[in-house]
Amino acid sequence: MGEFVPSNVHWEKQNVSGFDPDNNKVMLENGDHLNYEYLIVALGITPDYQRVPGLLEALETAPNVCTNYDAKYVSKTFPAIQNTKKGTALFTHPDTPVKCAGAPQKIMYLAEDQIRKSGLRNDVDVAFAHPGPAIFGVKKYAEQLAKVVAEKDIKTYFHHALKELDYKNNLAVFHNIKEPDSPVKVSIPYEMIHVSPPFKPPSPIASNPKMAAAQSGYLDVNTQTLQHNKYENIFGLGDNINIVSTKTAAAAAAQTGIVQKNLQSVMDKKKPSVFYDGYTSCPLVTGANKGILAEFDGNGEPLQTFPSFFGQHKEKKIWYYLKAHVMPTLYWYGMVKGPWTGPKALRKMFTLGMGR
């Protein structure tokens, strides 16, 4: 990261421990504090392993339990897939906000592809448990993903929220939440399991009622201007804000442009005048060389960059290569360094070029 921090920016290598917005102070873990005139809060989102009893212990000790959501445990994933010769390879989606709503199933498709290539697909069942009613929250993409799941013979458990991991007996315990007032307890045996853990807002925000939204614990911002609802000199972006859009890097990129312009307005003693439409994107890898490029707005309606004849909702190699080879460069040299603030300008260019 140090290579990308501008030379005229001071990097304080400390975690944030709290906020004192009435006095324009940020507290640090070493006991120091920083004063500010304007503040942008982008603390991300925190895995909540304790919410699922047995999960953390399993990640520490069981070779067949893994997650890609933590640098400490991600290296367990591929060996767990390779060592699965029979039984069920189970993949889960949490019943909380999550980093990239497509990520819990991307690893499933890659694992299914690997198991098939190993000649073991007839001996291994692949299954996906999701607390929602469908494979994806946007209908246009959900319909296509349902076809992918059917073609790959992946078993789905909808309305299933992981509540406990009995890792000593290889049992994942779910609540079937189709009837939320009386959820049914369901135990699913597995040979291996990839858990996308529940998440929670960062504690420095959630523990501060002046900073957090009362209901969610996430940073309390205006969902259009991204300005804090109580403090005009505070803005938020990324996973830590109280917004319904899916939490992705694509959303953070688009939000960066909004914050940049609205912060400048506030510094110029003007009102914020640029509004976030909730844009986000989930490039869904559906196999070793295929993908779907899901893009949508805050209302869950498709908001695609490319003209419709490109077929972003269809499985194509181009979307896989865009995800695997273009987006990493775009992230490091575009988003992190500042020039890339989402595809809005690109989308406008295509629209003008098509005469619309």
Q: Choosing from 26, 100, 252, 284, which is the catalytic residue?
A: 100
DSSP assignment letter at 331: I
Identify whether 66 is a catalytic site residue. no
- The helix/strand/coil state of 136 is coil
Residue 330 neighbours by CB under 8 Å, 6+ apart: 340
Query: What token pair was written down for 147?
Result: 């076809």
Nearest CA to 282 out of 226, 348, 327, 346 is that of: 327
Q: Which listed residue (161, 172, 219, 282) is catalytic? A: 282
Residue 196: HSE in the Cβ half-sphere, 13 Å Cα cutoff = 23
Structure token pair of residue 308: 């419709």
CA atoms within 13 A on the CB side of 340: 19
- DSSP reduced 3-state for 194: strand
Distance CA 152, CA 312 (A): 20
Spatial CB neighbours of 293, under 8 Å, sequence gap ≥ 6: 281, 283, 284, 304, 306, 312, 319, 322, 323
Closest CA to 277 of 313, 259, 303: 303
| Residue in 159, 99, 151, 97 with CA at minimum distance from that of residue 128 | 159
Residue ranges of alpha helices (H) inside the chain are 55-61, 77-82, 103-117, 139-151, 203-206, 249-267, 317-321, 327-329, 344-353
| DSSP-based three-state secondary structure for 291 | strand
In SS3 terms, 249-272 reads as: HHHHHHHHHHHHHHHHHHHCCCCC
User: Residue 279: phi, psi to the nearest 5?
Assistant: -55, 135
- The type of residue at 22 is D
Residues labelled catalytic? 100, 282
